Amino acid sequence: DAKTTQPTSMDCAEGRAANLPCNHSTISGNEYVYWYRQIHSQGPQYIIHGLKNNETNEMASLIITEDRKSSTLILPHATLRDTAVYYCIVRPNYGGATNKLIFGTGTLLAVQP
Amino acid sequence: ETGVTQSPTHLIKTRGQQVTLRCSSQSGHNTVSWYQQALGQGPQFIFQYYREEENGRGNFPPRFSGLQFPNYSSELNVNALELDDSALYLCASSLGGSTSYEQYFGPGTRLTVT
């Protein structure tokens, strides 16, 4: 079972910031928070991951609370092409062993024009 | 767009038949994972291959099997197809053994079992 809880759907106006929340209250010390998204009819796409510090890349920012029990993915200026299902996943980051991803049902983000 | 490719794009099979799906991993990646995604659901992990050996398996019966070749491409085989096997099958490649475990997914193969 997925270890995360996300809202089923969210709307965002084009050009505004999209803030996608995720609860992971049972996260353990060696587990990272990963975000992927899946645009309709495509495979999932990696966005960003982090352990406890906030992270930023060219796609998004990831804010993790101090107790690590929740996080927020921020798309700073949402466009219509950001409409997708966004998955929040927690998993250990270690080498050699299975690095499977356990997906929940994610959040459907609909960016409105 | 990733360098992961899958074939075929779409496939229609009859219940009881066998099917082979193929995946070419991104250059330099030695690990391939397979996922099944039913309509309206998130992808479910089937198994993973690391350097040609199965390295973890999800809750799927033995009629789901796989192979990884020396060039790290991979096949997913499903025997005795059932109607519930209708789904999008995704493969993902990654570089196992490194500190970077992002998985790069292909576009998937849509399998329909009638």
pLDDT, tens only, B57-78 = 999 999 999 999 999 999 999 9
Condensed to tens digits (0 to 9), the pLDDT of residues A12-56 reads: 999 999 999 999 999 988 888 999 999 988 999 999 999 998 999
- Which residue is closest to A91 within chain B, CA to CA? B101
- Which residue is closest to B58 within chain A, CA to CA? A100
| A43 CA to centre of own chain | 15
Highest mean pLDDT: which range of A66-75, A90-99, B26-35, B100-109: A66-75
In a mutational test of the B interface, the residue from A98, A103, A105, A108 whose CB has the highest number of chain B CBs within 10 Å is A98
From the list B33, B52, B50, B44, the residue with the least C-alpha distance to B104 is: B33
Highest mean pLDDT: which range of A47-51, B19-23, B27-31, B44-48: B19-23
Cβ contact, residue pair A87, B41, below 8 Å: no
Q: How confident is the model at residue A96 (pLDDT cuts 50, 70, 90)?
A: very low
**Residue B28 pLDDT > 80, yes or no?**
yes
Cβ contact, residue pair A46, B102, below 8 Å: yes
Residue B34 near residue B43, CB atoms below 8 Å? no
From the list B40, B42, B77, the residue with the least C-alpha distance to B61 is: B77
The pLDDT of residue A29: 85
B24 vs A56: CA distance, rounded Å? 30
From the list B64, B85, B84, B83, the residue with the least C-alpha distance to B75 is: B64
Nearest Cα of chain A lies from the Cα of B105 at a distance, in angstroms, of 5
**Residue A95 pLDDT > 60, yes or no?**
no
**More reliable by pLDDT, A91 or A65:** A65
**Residue B26 pLDDT > 80, yes or no?**
yes
Residues of A with CB under 8 A from a CB of B: 2, 41-46, 49, 85, 87, 93, 95-106
Q: Which residues contact A113 (CB under 8 A, 6 or more apart)?
A: A14, A80
